[in-house]
Amino acid sequence: MYELSNVSKTYKQRNRLVEALQSVDLQIADGQMVAIQGPTGGGKSTLLQLLGALDRPSSGTITLGDVDISSLPDSKLVEIRSHKIGFVFQTFNLIPTLNALENVEIALQGEKISSSARIERAEAALASVGLSDRTRHLPSELSGGQQQRVAIARALVKNPEILLADEPTGNLDEQTRDDIMDLLEGLWREKGLTLVVVTHDSAIAKRAQRRLVIQAGKIREAS
């Protein structure tokens, strides 16, 4: 359960201030699937980073469960990220020197488990995204869709409560786009995740339980 009240985020760009988010009030219930739409530069990524405890708002409060993540120190934010939140990025952000399995494994590096247990979990996560036969491939040897599947496996291998996806299909062709959205939707359903997906694609947004639009830092529910 996210609760944002009066959240603003201001960036300094050279000599001017940019209000990426202005007095956002928002609640996201556990297990909800939310699609966020809006023009480029509207503040979608900024909101997702605040939800993902990657950054703190300039003002206002954000609570996740009963924790105020808008005022936690970096060392506490990283704990929350490592246990509760999974990220999926538009550009996949896999580590180019590591193979698919290792890219999933690195998400577990903070957990005190044996390497065989870690590999087992990573293999299971790759199986759940349909990549059992590609575990030893480097990112450069995988298609865009396959890379995004690896990234999704990496996000889910920790069993997070929340999955945040910032334009996960933005770099994919139409066919793959649907596959990835099917996958995300299936996982959301299966695992009872809270899923927040930023997307430009209205067809994708329509799959969500709830649609939000962010424009010039202001948020509203889409009708």
Partner 1 sequence: MFLTYLRRELFGRRKQTAIIAAGMALAIGLVIIVNAFSQGVQSAQSKVLESVYGVGTDMTVTLTPVAPTAPSGPQSFGFDRNSGTNVSGTQKVSQSRLTGGIGGGQFMPTSDLATVEQTTGVKGAAGTLALQNITFSGQIPQAFQVPLPASGAGGGPSVQKMQPRTKLNRGGTNGNGGSSFNVDRFSVLGVDLSKTAVGPLSAITVSNGVGLTSTDTGTYKAVLDSNYATSAKLSTGGSINIGGQDFSIVGLVTPSTSDSSSASDAYISLDVAQKLSGNADKLSTIYVQANSNKDIANVKASLASVLTADTVKTQSDLASSVSGSLASASSLVSGLGYWLSIAVLIAAFLIAILFTISGVSRRTREFGTLKAIGWKNRRIMAQVLGESFIQSMLGGLIGIGIGLVGIFAINRDNLTLQGSASAGSLFSGFGRRAVAGGANANGFPSPVGDPATLPQGAFGGSGRRSVETVQTITMHLPVALNVILLAVALSIVGGLLAGAFGGWRASRLSPAAALRSVN
Which of partner 1, Mg ion, ligand ADP, none is residue 136 near (CB under 5 to 8 Å by kind)? none
Which of ligand ADP, partner 1, Mg ion, none is residue 222 near (CB under 5 to 8 Å by kind)? none
* 45 scored as a contact of Mg ion (CB under 5 A): yes
- Binding part of the chain for partner 1, among 29-37, 72-80, 125-133, 212-220 by CB under 8 A, reads 72-80
Task: Mark residues 22-51: x for contact with partner 1 by CB under 8 A, - for none.
Answer: -----------------------x---x--
Closest CB 137 distance from partner 1, rounded Å: 13
Question: β-pairing, 59-64 with 85-88?
Answer: unpaired
**What residue type is assigned to position 103 of the chain?**
N
Closer residue to partner 1 (CB): 113 or 203: 113
Closer residue to ligand ADP (CB): 46 or 147: 46
Strand order in the sheet with 16-28: 16-28, 2-13, 59-64, 67-68
Which of partner 1, Mg ion, ligand ADP, none is residue 57 near (CB under 5 to 8 Å by kind)? none
- Binding part of the chain for ligand ADP, among 41-49, 110-118, 154-162, 205-213 by CB under 6 A, reads 41-49
- Binding part of the chain for ligand ADP, among 35-43, 154-162, 188-196, 199-207 by CB under 6 A, reads 35-43
Query: Which of 61, 82, 176, 215 forms a contact with partner 1 (CB under 8 A)?
Result: 82
Query: Could you give the maximum distance between any two Cα atoms of the chain, in Å?
Result: 52
Q: For the chain, what is the HEC assignment?
A: CEEEEEEEEEEEECCEEEEEEEEEEEEECCCCEEEEECCCCCCHHHHHHHHCCCCCCCEEEEEECCEECCCCCHHHHHHHHHHHEEEECCCCCCCCCCCHHHHHHHHHCCCCCCHHHHHHHHHHHHHHCCCHHHCCCCHHHCCHHHHHHHHHHHHHCCCCCEEEEECCCCCCCHHHHHHHHHHHHHHHHHHCCEEEEECCCHHHHCCCCEEEEEECCEEEECC
* 46 scored as a contact of ligand ADP (CB under 6 A): yes
**What residue type is assigned to position 9 of the chain?**
K
* 134 scored as a contact of partner 1 (CB under 8 A): no
* 199 scored as a contact of ligand ADP (CB under 6 A): no
Residue ranges binding Mg ion (CB under 5 A): 45
Residue ranges binding ligand ADP (CB under 6 A): 11, 13, 18, 20, 38, 40-46
